[in-house]
């Protein structure tokens, strides 16, 4: 093992038993090194094997279904961790090596306070008593930037925002001052400003504590801001590795170039976003003709965005408000204004982007328009009729004309229904189609429209990837033949290549059917690509509303400028 390396992975092979006869090889003989006091980014799409590799280091893979080739090795400070017994592995993991997981809400125990959970790490690995552990937990919460740590130490995870939960996870991870910190997609679902804060926090802690960091992500935009070295994985293999400056500026592998260019850019708006397949075909063609394999695709046709005085407005929203009320004391109640006097106009066949941090009220706008929240004020005129005040019986006719695609495709599809049942149910409820035979034909046509095979009709949601599930959710919305689609963070949890496919699909549907979109997102690069107008929300209010190009070129409000400044740097 190299003297300047804290972690060295040699020829690691990991397979999973699917049944008695079948195995799936998730990691296929990968090797990489993490030098001391440096940050290595492990990059790739879902299924590339990057998280499996990190879990193998931590010893967190399921023992009863995992096969690790004994010919491989994971050397930490010269010791092969694969040869340690369970007690030695537990002593190492959590103290010398620790991990920040992707989803803090599922990683933190909801029935214990955050102070207790940080203290548990200290009592287990450092032998502290309760008083010592509490004092150290307070210091850690302060170090990771939790406001008012004396009060927050006794809070439960559900009482904290997503960014604060992730900071608690980081506090737990650095509690024992580990030599190696593994961060598995720690910012994937966070707002751009919170994401920047977490990235800066990890970088600051890495310098302060002289840690090495293995940073796992699918977003190469983040990598350029934190990593010294980059390892690119695909299908369980390492495609490219090297210094970050080299890999990100002059990538040698076509797959790396594909990852760099699939993400929407702030200075280009191609007619269609390139996807991984485009680059890999280009690489194969280049190899066959003797040309440059995987050369950058030509810029091609650009898509214009913006509004016009001649636009027909399908939805006119005026001073829409929503308050939530909480019990306070024995008889009192407290009002929380989630949305205050929101006004905008949505043009037919155009896209309104809605951006802002968590808690800004952007999702509340979409849910209130669909009457999933009851508005406390304002109007929303659809063809001159107010969606907010009309009786429920009358609203049924409009219900199918405005639909929503939710953020999480794993939670928004009924796991007990086949895809066919998911598509047929809304058509039956709204009496679309003469009979089930006609509805089935329509469902098959929609599956084809969203790029899914006919066999998908008889399968269940758990048999599909996240991107495919989001396509099913889009197909379900299209069964209603809507005129307005509310897309609530509908691509935020997807890999860059899958995200590009879904954005291309949404654009194709808008071009074909003249759909109008309210596109809610915290990803400002995606919003710049797809939106004609952008509405910026802060603390429940609209602080800026302008055409997409104008707002990004000349932001008028300080909050908008802060959001734009937090976008990960452009690379490539």
Residue with tokens 């001391």: 36
Instruction: Of 35-39, 110-114, 170-174, 568-572, give the lowest mean pLDDT range.
Output: 568-572
Percent of the chain with pLDDT over 70: 95
Question: In angstroms, how far is CA 448 from the centroid of its own chain?
Answer: 26
The answer to whether 92 and 77 have CB atoms below 8 angstroms apart is: no
Residues 270, 378, single domain; the answer is no
437 domain residue, yes or no = no
**pLDDT tens sequence across 457-471:** 999 988 887 778 888
Q: What is the DSSP letter of 142?
A: H
Q: What is the DSSP letter of 348?
A: T
pLDDT attached to residue 335: 86
> In which band, very low, low, confident or very high, does the pLDDT at 295 lie, cut at 50, 70 and 90?
very low
Look at the chain and count its residues: 572
Rama region for 79: left / alpha / beta (φ>0; ψ in -120 to 50; rest): beta
The chain-wide mean pLDDT, for the chain, equals 88
73 domain residue, yes or no = no
**pLDDT tens sequence across 6-30:** 999 999 999 998 888 888 999 999 9
pLDDT attached to residue 502: 86
Given a cut of 90, is residue 288 above it in pLDDT?
no
- The sheet that has 377-382: what strands, in order across it? 332-347, 313-328, 377-382, 385-386
The answer to whether 141 and 131 have CB atoms below 8 angstroms apart is: no
Q: How far apart are CA 104 and CA 107, in angstroms?
A: 5
Angle, vertex CA 428, rays to CA 426 and CA 432, nearest 5: 90
Q: How far apart are CA 90 and CA 84, in angstroms?
A: 10
The last residue of one of the domains, among 245, 270, 298, is 298
Mapping DSSP to helix (H, G, I), strand (E, B) and coil, where does residue 197 land? helix
In this prediction, residues 58-76 reach a mean pLDDT of 89
User: What CATH number has the domain bearing residue 539?
Assistant: 3.40.50.300
Long-range CB contacts for residues 430-433, cutoff 8 Å, separation at least 24: 430/399, 430/400, 430/480, 432/400, 432/479, 432/480, 432/481
Burial class (CB in 10 A: 0-12, 13-18, 19+), 148: exposed
Identify the bridge partners of residue 259 per DSSP, sorted by sequence position.
Answer: none
Mapping DSSP to helix (H, G, I), strand (E, B) and coil, where does residue 324 land? strand
Given a cut of 50, is residue 294 above it in pLDDT?
no
Angle, vertex CA 210, rays to CA 204 and CA 214, nearest 5: 80
pLDDT attached to residue 29: 94
Residue with tokens 């950058």: 296
The residue among 523 and 212 whose pLDDT is bigger is 212
Percent of the chain with pLDDT over 90: 51
Residues 502, 370, single domain; the answer is yes
526 domain residue, yes or no = yes
> In which band, very low, low, confident or very high, does the pLDDT at 571 lie, cut at 50, 70 and 90?
very low
pLDDT attached to residue 516: 96
Burial class (CB in 10 A: 0-12, 13-18, 19+), 467: buried
Q: How far apart are CA 509 and CA 491, in angstroms?
A: 16
Residues 334, 374, single domain; the answer is yes
Full-model pTM: 0.81
**pLDDT tens sequence across 242-259:** 999 999 889 999 899 888
Backbone φ and ψ for 67, nearest 5 degrees, come out as -120, 120
539 domain residue, yes or no = yes
Residues 397, 530, single domain; the answer is yes
Number of domains in the chain: 2
Mapping DSSP to helix (H, G, I), strand (E, B) and coil, where does residue 429 land? helix
Mapping DSSP to helix (H, G, I), strand (E, B) and coil, where does residue 269 land? coil
Q: How far apart are CA 497 and CA 360, in angstroms?
A: 28
Mapping DSSP to helix (H, G, I), strand (E, B) and coil, where does residue 485 land? strand
396 domain residue, yes or no = yes
421 domain residue, yes or no = no
The answer to whether 488 and 522 have CB atoms below 8 angstroms apart is: no
327 domain residue, yes or no = yes
> In which band, very low, low, confident or very high, does the pLDDT at 38 lie, cut at 50, 70 and 90?
very high
Residues 269, 392, single domain; the answer is no
Residues 390, 499, single domain; the answer is yes
> In which band, very low, low, confident or very high, does the pLDDT at 293 lie, cut at 50, 70 and 90?
very low
In this prediction, residues 418-426 reach a mean pLDDT of 94
pLDDT attached to residue 286: 58
Burial class (CB in 10 A: 0-12, 13-18, 19+), 351: buried
pLDDT attached to residue 138: 95
pLDDT attached to residue 357: 83
Residues 263, 363, single domain; the answer is no
The last residue of one of the domains, among 265, 298, 331, is 298
Q: How far apart are CA 542 and CA 165, in angstroms?
A: 27
pLDDT attached to residue 1: 54
**pLDDT tens sequence across 555-567:** 999 999 988 888 8
Given a cut of 80, is residue 275 above it in pLDDT?
yes
Q: How far apart are CA 246 and CA 571, in angstroms?
A: 11
Residues 279, 335, single domain; the answer is no
> In which band, very low, low, confident or very high, does the pLDDT at 189 lie, cut at 50, 70 and 90?
low
DSSP H or E stretch at residue 181: strand 180-184
Q: How far apart are CA 421 and CA 458, in angstroms?
A: 9
Mapping DSSP to helix (H, G, I), strand (E, B) and coil, where does residue 506 land? helix
Tokens for 171, please give them: 């506090």
Tokens for 553, please give them: 């070129």
Angle, vertex CA 163, rays to CA 157 and CA 166, nearest 5: 65
What is the DSSP code string of 381-415? EETTEETTTS-HHHHHHHHTTEEEE-S-TTTSS-T
Query: How many of the other CB atoms lie within 10 Å of CB of 441?
Result: 11
Residues 263, 372, single domain; the answer is no
Which residues lie closer than 8 Å to 32 by C-beta, 6 or more apart? Answer: 8, 9, 40, 42, 231, 238, 241
268 domain residue, yes or no = yes
Residue with tokens 């191609």: 270
pLDDT attached to residue 15: 93
Q: How many helices (H) and strands (E) does the chain have?
A: 21, 21
Backbone φ and ψ for 347, nearest 5 degrees, come out as -80, 150
Residues 257, 397, single domain; the answer is no
Residues 382, 321, single domain; the answer is yes
Q: How far apart are CA 572 and CA 569, in angstroms?
A: 10
The answer to whether 300 and 527 have CB atoms below 8 angstroms apart is: no
Integer angstrom CA distances of residue 568 from 266, 336, 358, 556: 11, 32, 18, 21
The H-assigned helical ranges of 59-129 are: 86-92, 104-107, 114-126
Residues 278, 332, single domain; the answer is no
Q: Which domain holds residue 294?
A: 253-298
């Amino acid at each position: 093992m190299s003297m300047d390396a804290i972690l060295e992975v040699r020829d690691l092979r990991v397979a999973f038993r699917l049944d008695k006869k079948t195995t799936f090889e998730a990691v296929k003989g990968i090797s990489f090194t993490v030098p001391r006091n440096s940050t290595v980014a492990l990059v790739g799409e879902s299924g590339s094997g990057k998280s499996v590799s990190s879990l193998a280091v931590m010893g967190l893979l399921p023992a009863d279904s995992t096969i690790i080739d004994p010919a491989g090795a994971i050397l930490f400070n010269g010791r092969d961790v694969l040869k340690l017994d369970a007690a030695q592995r537990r002593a190492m993991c959590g103290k010398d090596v620790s991990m920040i997981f992707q989803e803090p809400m599922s990683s933190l125990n909801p029935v214990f306070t955050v102070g207790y959970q940080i203290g548990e790490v200290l009592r287990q690995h450092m032998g502290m008593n309760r008083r010592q552990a509490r004092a150290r937990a307070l210091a850690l919460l302060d170090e990771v930037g939790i406001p008012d740590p004396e009060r927050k130490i006794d809070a439960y995870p559900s009482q904290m925002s997503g960014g604060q939960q992730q900071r608690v996870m980081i506090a737990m991870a650095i509690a024992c001052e580990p030599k190696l910190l593994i961060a598995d997609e720690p910012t994937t679902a966070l707002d751009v400003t919170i994401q920047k804060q977490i990235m800066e926090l990890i970088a600051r802690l890495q310098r302060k504590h002289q840690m090495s960091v293995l940073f796992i992500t699918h977003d190469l935009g983040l990598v350029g801001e934190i990593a010294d070295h980059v390892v690119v994985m695909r299908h369980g293999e390492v495609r490219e590795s090297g210094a970050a400056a080299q890999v990100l500026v002059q990538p040698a592998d076509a797959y790396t170039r594909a990852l760099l260019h699939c993400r929407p850019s702030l200075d280009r708006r191609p007619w269609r976003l390139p996807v991984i397949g485009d680059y890999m075909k280009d690489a194969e063609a280049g190899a066959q003709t003797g040309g440059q394999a995987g050369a950058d695709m030509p810029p091609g046709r650009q898509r214009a965005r913006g509004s016009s005085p001649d636009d027909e407005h399908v939805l006119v929203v005026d001073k829409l408000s929503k308050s939530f009320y909480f019990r306070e004391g024995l008889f009192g109640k407290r009002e929380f204004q989630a949305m205050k006097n929101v006004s905008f106009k949505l043009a037919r066949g155009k896209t309104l982007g809605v951006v802002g941090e968590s808690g800004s009220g952007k999702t509340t706008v979409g849910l209130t328009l669909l009457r999933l929240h009851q508005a406390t004020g304002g109007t929303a005129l659809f063809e001159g009729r107010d969606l907010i005040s009309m009786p429920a019986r009358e609203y049924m006719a409009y219900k199918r004309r405005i639909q929503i695609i939710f953020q999480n495709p794993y939670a928004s599809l009924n796991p007990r229904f086949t895809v066919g049942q998911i598509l047929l149910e809304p058509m039956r409820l709204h009496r679309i189609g003469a009979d089930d035979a006609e509805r089935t034909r329509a469902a098959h046509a929609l599956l084809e429209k969203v790029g899914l095979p006919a066999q998908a009709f008889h399968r269940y949601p758990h048999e599909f990837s996240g991107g495919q599930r989001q396509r099913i959710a889009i197909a379900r919305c299209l069964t209603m033949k809507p005129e307005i689609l509310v897309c609530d963070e509908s691509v935020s949890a997807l890999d860059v290549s899958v995200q590009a496919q879904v954005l291309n699909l949404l654009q194709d549907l808008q071009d074909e059917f003249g759909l109008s979109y309210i596109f809610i997102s915290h990803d400002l690069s995606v919003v710049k690509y797809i939106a004609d107008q952008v509405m910026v929300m802060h603390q429940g209010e609209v602080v800026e509303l302008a055409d997409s190009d104008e707002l990004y070129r000349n932001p008028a409000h300080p909050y908008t400028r802060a959001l734009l400044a937090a976008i990960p740097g452009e690379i490539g």
